[in-house]
Structure 1
């Protein structure tokens, strides 16, 4: 077990879905002026639909095999390392490629190297000592910094020895990036992390419950807490309940961001993870109306902007796709204002055609 740390965000509960506002919202923050000032579209509707038909597709089977080969090679190298094996680490795929929301020619793939040492997060109202007693937690006698440093060093040394120093970049704060795997395309981000236990008390209950995630300790001492397994599960469910439209729309909007940069509409990107979460917020029925792709994409972008532009919005109200971590919490690398800016820019880019 590691240090105790308070978690100040909300707990939303797995499988409960995202709470949704009413379908109509008057006096939304800046929304009226945004939607009244659409630029002339850079394309005709038919051209947009042709683009969207291409953009919504995942990579081919051949491309998938080529991308996954890089991760398989890296994992095979690390699985043979005695030091990592003795620590009991496990290797788990994650990221947009695993979630099937990556766009074509986006070949980066993630592999997390997860250490069994626990990082414990306590929801407000949980007594750390009582929770430790309930779950049998104990002090492991080692610091996170020591173990994380050893893991990074071991991973980097092993990969450099097998793949060459020039193909391994260990200067990043979180991930070690690997390129140059023979027979593969793209790069592999290897993410050392710890096992996270999030302890909370469900509403109306007196018993502790816990959710498992991952905790990444950056080389700069900062923590990042994620719930990738829940993200995958909820994303797959959303894909089913939207008749396979959810992930198609995510790919389209991700490609739109590159298109917006090419046309000078925006000059900086928002994270792909945020794009995926913003699309996920939209209610299922908006994905399945019988219409062309242009109207569907535009309506989903507008609806997402409506949802996060309500007056007096509680920023802890909406979680990420995992259903646990607040999308606009204080630990995020983005703000709700940045999300509104991106959605408004995308809507303007589509124009009115």
Structure 2
């Protein structure tokens, strides 16, 4: 398929002001739904977690000392969304009860932590009840999240109740503040997923600044082209996620973006895809945009990514 500079300029556009406001509305609706549980806001309003991002967040606290952090994650937070109707992801993180990981020979006692007893109602149950009280039939419980149907005022939202994850494996001073923080999602199926959305947001912002703001433009472009590949019957496009493509381009060295910054977008994108095609052996070592987890942790995921890159280079032509 042949692409023009005008097409890529359109693909690379960031969130509109309307979408930005709808994202703010969505997170504020979740925050307001939690207040009847006894929580109050620590800030006067939601604000970006990092400059030059749409990762709006708020911290909540109750009189009993319970703490929650609510923040946008995913493509809207990272300003890499290309489909105006896709859901907003909102993490609802339990902070005062957390999951830990230690190096060998270390346990909770080294840090003064205690194990809490399981409650009759889970954190996800509490959040679901609060959302149903606020939004009624617009709420649907899913395996990993709680869906809130949107309207003209707010976007569809997937609220993700989760627990703070603290990795102390690189701490050798028993410092309770010296950890790598993530989130643990406990799915209804029993699966536990550890993610690092805050690092992802920060790393994406830093990469974008370092590349003269071309990184996120190229991410929006590759996501849009992935959809077009799928619509044209290229099956490899359905085997890689939008998140994976965002991470894929994050792994390209910054100097490659800067080398072509004076060229048209159609040429820069062409050169970036050729870099990926010519360096497929490096995919085994690529990290997610959080810089922590492997992008392709299995042979199957490696082969799927390689096939997508090969099909992308064949599909993409430019004027």
1:101-120 correspondence to structure 2 within 5 Å:
101-116=80-95, 117-120=97-100
| Matched-pair contact (CA < 8 Å) for 2:31–2:70 | yes
Contact 1:257 1:269 in 2 (8 A): no
Query: Higher relative contact order by CA 8 Å / sep ≥ 6: 1 or 2?
Result: 1
Kindly provide the CA deviation profile for residues 102-137 of structure 1, in whole angstroms up to 9, marking residues without a partner as x: 125144212111112121124xxx224x25344222
Give 3-state SS (helix, strand or coil) of 2:286's partner.
coil
What SS does structure 1 have at the residue aligned with 2:238? coil
Counterpart Cα distance in 2 of 1:199 and 1:326: 19
| Residue 121 (structure 1) aligned with residue 121 (structure 2) | no
Any gaps of 5 or more consecutive residues in structure 1? 1-41
Tell me the residue number matched to 2:139: 168
Choose which of 18, 25, 43 in structure 2 pairs with 1:69. Answer: 25
**Could you report, residue by residue, the CA deviation over 1:206-260 in whole angstroms, capped at 9, with x for unpaired residues?**
5565211111111111111111111111111100110000000001111111111
TM-score, normalization by structure 2: 0.82
Aligned residue pairs, count: 289
Gaps of 5+ in 2: 40-60
TM alignment of 1:290-309, pairs within 5 A: 290-309=262-281
Q: Secondary structure at the match of 1:120?
A: strand
Higher share of residues assigned strand:
2
Query: After superposition, what is the alpha-carbon deviation per residue over 1:31-59, rounded to whole angstroms, capped at 9, x for unaligned?
Result: xxxxxxxxxxx22xxx4322110000012
1:190 corresponds to which residue?
Answer: 159
Query: How far off its partner does 1:305 sit?
Result: 3.7
Report how far residue 95 of structure 1 moved: 1.6
Contact 1:52 1:252 in 2 (8 A): yes
Answer yes or no: is the 8 Å Cα contact 1:309–1:340 preserved in 2: no
List aligned pairs for 1:1-353, cutoff 5 A. 42-43=1-2, 47-82=3-38, 85=62, 87-116=66-95, 117-122=97-102, 126-128=103-105, 130-142=106-118, 146=119, 150-165=122-137, 167-170=138-141, 172-181=142-151, 183-184=153-154, 186-201=155-170, 207=173, 209-266=178-235, 268-288=238-258, 289=260, 290-310=262-282, 315=284, 317-329=285-297, 335-351=301-317
Quote the RMSD (CA, aligned, Å). Answer: 2.5
Task: Indicate how the Cα distance of structure 1 residues 120 and 305 shifts in structure 2: closer, same or farther if over 3 A, else same.
Answer: farther
| CA distance in 2: counterparts of 1:305 and 1:242, whole angstroms | 21
C-alpha distance in 2, partners of 1:156/1:133? 33
| Structure-1-length-normalised TM-score | 0.74
Shift in Å at residue 64 of structure 1?
Answer: 1.3
Please give the secondary structure, in 2, of the residue aligned with 1:268.
Answer: helix
Distance 2:302 2:246 in 1: 14
